[in-house]
Amino acid sequence: MTYEVRDSVATLRLNRPDALNAINSALRESLLGALQRAERDPAVKVVLLGATGRGFCAGADLMEEQGADFSVEEELLQGYRPIFECIGRMPQPVIGVAPGVAAGIGAALLMACDLVIMADQARLYMAFSHVGLVPDGGATWLLYRHLGYQRAFALIVEGGSLGAEECRAAGIANKIVAAEALDEAANAWAQELATRSPVASAEAKRLLRTAATHSYAEIFEQEAAAQHRCINSEQSRAAVAAFKDRARARQ
């Protein structure tokens, strides 16, 4: 992993380009550590999660030697789940930045981000059925939410892929740019979001992350409580005061 903070934006990059950033145990631990580091840093308002080289992530590294007591269930629940939980829990918006293919659990990692920007050549690849496996990392839940049952099932059992424009049409990606402009566009987007109230961004993230599992009435109540916290924040008070000053100046 590489880790850099500049102007309130933490840029994290998967850094195994020769293996298309396939995740081995060392990279998995480094990724979790980098996310937790950003989560704890009050100076970080937005996180960019990208990769070096031509791919985002080829999934789990199937070439890594495993011990005799290896359990894929244990690896997913104890090794990978904390990564996904951290992305969902951390108050900062996490922008997934895909320069190229996102396959296997790498596809789940990209979809788990709050926002996604992809190079026009990037693809989301569900490779699992080619090796007799099913998606993991919450990918079935995410694909069902974006594609619906039939489209998600076909993508999974056929081992197919979605191009960048298909991802945008499905709501998986927010923005598509030329590969050579990806880093600049991602950073500009992050810098723009960093100017917004971190309290409001964190509350909006929490509300949307829980909306799928709560009723309308429950979310209505949670919104009311969140709005109370926002309106009493320093950022909101300053913004409201500035709005009033501009309104008075126009009178």
CATH of the domain at 34: 3.90.226.10
CB crowding 172-210: b at 16 or more within 10 Å, else e: bbbbbbeeeebbebbbebbeebbeebbbbbbbbbeeeee
How many Å is the Cα radius of gyration of the chain?
19
The mean per-residue pLDDT over the stretch 69-75 comes to 92
Domain closes at, from 152, 178, 194: 194
CB 32 within 8 A of CB 80: no
What does the pLDDT look like over 175-219, one tens digit per residue? 999 999 999 999 999 999 999 999 999 999 999 999 989 999 999
94 pLDDT higher than 90: yes
- 131 with 58, same domain: the answer is yes
Percent of the chain scoring above 70 in pLDDT: 100
Among candidate residues 194, 211, 226, the one where a domain is terminated: 194
Q: How many CB atoms lie within 10 A of CB 139?
A: 25
Count of helix runs (H) and strand runs (E) in the chain: 11, 9
Among 132, 50, 25, 138, residue whose Cα is nearest residue 88: 138
Q: How far apart are CA 76 and CA 48, in angstroms?
A: 23
Q: Is 220 found in the same domain as 107?
A: no
My answer on whether 112 and 224 are in the same domain is no
126/151 same-domain check: yes
pLDDT value of residue 242 = 82
Q: pLDDT confidence of 16, banded at 50, 70, 90?
A: very high
124-136 pLDDT tens trace: 999 999 999 999 9
Question: Exposure pattern of 84-104 as b/e (b: 16+ CB <10 Å)?
Answer: bebbbebebbbbbbbbbbbbb
pLDDT band of 69, cuts 50, 70, 90: confident
Mean pLDDT of 95-106: 98
Domain extent at residue 88: 2-194
Are 163 and 98 members of one domain? yes
In a shared domain, residues 141 and 168: yes
pLDDT at residue 240, rounded to an integer: 82
Co-location of 225 and 188 in the same domain: no
| 30 and 59 within one domain | yes
pLDDT of residue 215: 97
Query: Does pLDDT of 251 surpass 80?
Result: no
Over residues 132-144, the mean pLDDT reads: 96
pTM: 0.94
Q: Is the pLDDT of residue 235 over 90?
A: no
In this structure, the answer to whether residues 163 and 215 fall within a common structural domain is: no
124 and 183 part of one domain: yes
Work out the burial of residue 75: count CB atoms within 10 Å of its CB; fewer than 13 is exposed, 13-18 middle, 19 or more buried: middle
Which pLDDT does position 64 carry in this prediction?
Answer: 86
Residues 190, 207, single domain; the answer is no
* Structural domain count of the chain: 2
170 with 205, same domain: the answer is no
The CA-atom distances, in angstroms, between 6 and each of 3, 36, 85, 186, 192 are 10, 17, 25, 13, 13
